């Protein structure tokens, strides 16, 4: 994360958490039995577990809410290294679907990811500097963590980076298009 066009460093004097800040932090990920149809009546007991997963996450909570203390929690989206953890997840999904995870197929998928806008994925930096990583934000993988826990954790990080404008604005726009409901008629919201 050293390309000044895509990322801006956050100085140690700036203790406040920022929207678009990229943190390496743990999150509790629930897991348990998957069912094709949800059990709405809860007539059986399900055992669920939680695993602690450390990884890169981007802060999605609005800057104004953070600055004015309007939120007790911080919303984060998972970031994946395109050629590392994202490729491993893609290969596992391909094998599960009985598809090949060949190098040729990966290069085709990777090229489509760089050139085609995906609903839930945003490639933060399609052309990183040599030795830098392509980071992919997965907007489907959200976690909500208590603010009093996230802020001190962020301040302890050796180097802090924030997604620069206009790339932060593009990520905000993509998130709003995916989760926004403005202007859609829905009787359940009335």
Mean pLDDT of the chain: 80
Q: Which domain holds residue 98?
A: 7-27+52-178
Is 140 a domain residue?
yes
Question: What local confidence, expressed as pLDDT, does residue 3 receive?
Answer: 47
Mean pLDDT for 92-113 is 85
The answer as to whether 131 is a domain residue is yes
What distance lies between CA 95 and its chain's CA centroid?
A: 24
Q: Average of pLDDT values for 106-133?
A: 77
Whether the pLDDT of residue 85 is over 90: the answer is no
How many domains does one find in the chain? Answer: 1
Predicted TM-score (pTM) of this structure: 0.77
Number of DSSP helices (H) and strands (E) in the chain, helices first: 5, 7
188 domain-assigned: no
Determine, yes or no, domain membership for 151. Answer: yes
In a domain, 13, yes or no: yes
Q: What is the pLDDT of residue 113?
A: 81
Res 190: pLDDT:
40
Within a domain: 38: no
State in Å, rounded, how far the first CA of the chain is from the last one: 44
pLDDT digits (tens, 9 = 90+) for 20-76: 999 888 887 776 655 445 555 555 666 677 788 888 899 999 999 999 999 999 999
- The share of the chain scoring above pLDDT 90, in percent, equals 17
Q: What is the pLDDT of residues 155-190, one digit of tens each?
A: 888 778 888 888 899 899 889 888 886 655 554 544
CA 98/CA 115 separation, integer angstroms: 26
142, HSE (Cβ side, Cα atoms, 13 Å)? 12
CATH number at residue 71: 2.30.30.110
């Amino acid at each position: 994360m050293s390309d000044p066009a895509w990322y801006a460093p956050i100085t140690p004097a700036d203790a406040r958490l920022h929207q678009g800040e990229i943190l390496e932090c743990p999150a509790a990920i629930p897991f348990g039995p998957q069912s094709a149809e949800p059990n709405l009546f809860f007539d059986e007991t399900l055992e669920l577990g939680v695993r602690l997963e450390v990884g890169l996450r981007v802060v999605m909570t609005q800057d104004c809410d953070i600055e004015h203390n309007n939120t007790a929690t911080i919303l984060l989206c998972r970031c994946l290294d395109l050629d590392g953890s994202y490729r491993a997840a893609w290969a596992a999904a391909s094998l599960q679907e009985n598809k090949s995870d060949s190098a040729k197929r990966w290069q085709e998928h990777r090229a489509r990811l760089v050139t085609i806008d995906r609903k839930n994925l945003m490639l933060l930096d399609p052309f990183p500097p040599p030795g830098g990583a392509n980071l992919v934000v997965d907007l489907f993988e959200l976690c909500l963590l208590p603010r009093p826990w996230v802020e001190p954790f962020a301040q302890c990080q050796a180097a802090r980076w924030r997604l620069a404008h206009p790339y932060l604005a593009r990520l905000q726009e993509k998130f709003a298009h995916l989760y926004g409901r403005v202007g859609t008629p829905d009787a359940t919201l009335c």
